[in-house]
Amino acid sequence: MIKTSVQEQMPAWHFSRYGRPLQEYDVGQAYCWAERARKQIRRDPEREFEGRGYRIVYQELSFGGVRIRARLNNRTKELFLDPESEAELFAGLDALGFPLEPSPKRLILTHELFHLFCPRCPSGIEELAAHLFVAEELGLDYFPGILDLARRPASLIA
């Protein structure tokens, strides 16, 4: 497997998701939002949610043929995780030769923490910032959004 850096993987993910090149300004803004979120984390993602009164619920999350990995509901303080998506993520990591630790569940929970900490992040950079948050927080040597490109059909990480 050829390894490329997080910064080298972002443009392919961004173009695949949004159909346009990644702008340097967007990357800078996304890093700022990711750092803002990193300053708020105090413990393991699962404990962070539970400590803030959130309930983690396993449930199928398929809408119109698109499966999402998780859905955060701040109103009801529930985080819904799709067990099949978690299994797909494990298989994707394994197929790409990526480390299986941190676990897929931890990747997903950490991603959702970003959305909990930064609900006002501008939509144009929200997912980029969430993936950067995960990469930085978990010390990944890959950009987690790249895992979206391995999914079929056009399902996206939540």
Per-residue confidence (pLDDT) for residue 63, from 0 to 100:
83
Question: What value does the mean pLDDT take over residues 8-14?
Answer: 90
Residue 157, domain member (yes or no):
no
Residue 1, domain member (yes or no):
no
Question: What value does the mean pLDDT take over residues 65-93?
Answer: 92
pLDDT tens per residue across span 113-156: 999 999 999 998 999 999 999 999 999 988 999 888 765 443 44
Cβ neighbors of 103 (< 8 A, separation 6 or more) are 90
pLDDT classification of 2: cutoffs 50, 70, 90: very low
Per-residue confidence (pLDDT) for residue 155, from 0 to 100:
40
pLDDT tens per residue across span 22-72: 999 999 999 999 999 999 999 999 999 999 999 999 999 988 888 889 999
Question: What value does the mean pLDDT take over residues 67-95?
Answer: 92
**Mean of all residue pLDDT scores within the chain:** 89
Residue 158, domain member (yes or no):
no
Per-residue confidence (pLDDT) for residue 47, from 0 to 100:
96
Number of folded domains in the chain? 1
Residue 156, domain member (yes or no):
no
> What residues make up the domain containing 68?
6-149
Asked if the model's pLDDT at residue 83 lies above 80, the reply is yes
Residue 11, domain member (yes or no):
yes
Residue 24, domain member (yes or no):
yes
Asked if the model's pLDDT at residue 3 lies above 70, the reply is no
Kindly report the number of other CB atoms within 10 A of residue 44's CB atom.
13
